Structure 1
C-alpha cells in the first residue's frame, strides 16, 4: 500500500502541476498560484498521510506512509520544484 500511496501522490502532483502551469500562463506568472499549490500538495502529502496513520488499519497506514514518502521523495528529487518549496520559484 505504500507503493500505492506513492503512485497516488505522484498522480496528484502531476495533475496539480498542469493546473498551476496553465493558470500561471493565463495570469502572467503570478507566484500566488505556486504558493497555493505548495500548500495543497503539503496538505495532501503530509496532512492526509498523517490522518490516514491515525485510522490505525493496515491498509490506511501503508497508504498514509506512501503519501508522505511521495511528498518527501518528490521534494528531494526535484529540489523542491515539484512540491513548490523551492524559494527560487517565488523570486
Structure 2
C-alpha cells in the first residue's frame, strides 16, 4: 500500500507541477516564476515531510511520493520545471 501511494504522490505532483508551470510561464515575470517555484518546493517538500511524520502508512507513502516527484522532475528537467535553473530568472 505504501508503494502504491508513493506512485500516486509522484503522479499528483506531476499534475500540479504542469498546472503551476503553465500559470508561471503565462505571467512571463521572473518574480512570478520564483513565487510558483517556491510554492511548489514548499508544498512538495514541506507537505511531504508533514505527511511522513504522521502515523498512517498511506500518508507516509504519499509524502514520499510528493518528495520523489519533486526530485525526479528537478533531475529530468535540469531544474527548469521546478525553478532550480537560474536561466529562468534572466
Q: How does the TM-score come out when normalised to structure 2?
A: 0.92
Question: Counterparts of 2:21 and 2:57 in 1: how far apart (Å)?
Answer: 30
In the alignment, structure 2 segments of 5+ residues that lack a partner are none
Equivalent residue for 2:84?
85
CA drift of 1:56 comes to 2.2
Question: Counterparts of 2:89 and 2:55 in 1: how far apart (Å)?
Answer: 38
Question: Counterparts of 2:25 and 2:86 in 1: how far apart (Å)?
Answer: 17
CA drift of 1:22 comes to 1.7
CA drift of 1:23 comes to 1.8
CA drift of 1:88 comes to 1.2
Equivalent residue for 1:70?
69
Question: Counterparts of 1:56 and 1:32 in 2: how far apart (Å)?
Answer: 37
Alignment of structure 1 residues 15-54 onto 2, 5 Å: 15-24=19-28, 30-54=29-53
Q: How many residues align?
A: 86
Q: How does the TM-score come out when normalised to structure 1?
A: 0.91
In the alignment, structure 1 segments of 5+ residues that lack a partner are 25-29
Question: Counterparts of 1:77 and 1:48 in 2: how far apart (Å)?
Answer: 22
